[in-house]
């Protein structure tokens, strides 16, 4: 049986070591009808992916204990179907290419353009349901 995007409540994991950013994005996504979860480090994010299998993970590139590229690799090992969108404050094209090569669905910069984020999330979720 096929599911339609309007029939599911997409689970989005937000991973950023800056809590105020995660909370801001989480509140926005909750208002848009997503089920938003927050992890402030790579280890907690990986535990969540193992337990809850989010549809999408918004993943900060630069974090203290484990960087986003390492978390991306491990997320894809746990579940290659989890959509990962990398988020960074830096304009680094090489890092963006590396993330896309490792399976990230997109690479966006801070401050987050919520209109672009909406479009990216809808495209990724629609592709996952096909």
This prediction has a pTM of 0.91
| Structural domains of the chain in order of their starting residue, each with its CATH number | 8-124 (3.40.50.2300)
- Alpha-helical (H) ranges within the chain are 19-31, 42-52, 68-78, 93-101, 114-129
The yes-or-no verdict on residue 64 having pLDDT over 90 is: no
In angstroms, the CA 85 to CA 70 distance is 14
| Banded model confidence at residue 2, pLDDT cuts 50, 70, 90 | very low
Q: Which region, left, alpha or beta, applies to residue 13 given φ > 0 means left and ψ of -120 to 50 means alpha?
A: beta
């Amino acid at each position: 049986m096929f599911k339609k995007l309007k029939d599911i409540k997409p689970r989005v994991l937000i991973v950023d070591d800056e809590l105020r950013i995660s909370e801001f994005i989480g509140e926005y996504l909750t208002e848009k009808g997503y089920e938003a979860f927050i992890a402030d480090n790579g280890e907690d994010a990986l535990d969540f992916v193992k337990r809850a299998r989010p549809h999408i993970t918004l993943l900060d590139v630069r974090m203290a204990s484990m960087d986003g590229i390492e978390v991306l690799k491990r997320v894809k090992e746990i579940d290659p179907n989890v959509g990962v969108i990398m988020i960074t404050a830096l304009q680094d094209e090489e890092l963006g290419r590396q993330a896309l090569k490792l399976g990230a669905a997109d690479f966006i910069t801070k401050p987050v353009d919520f209109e672009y984020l909406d479009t990216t999330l809808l495209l990724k979720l629609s592709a996952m349901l096909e």
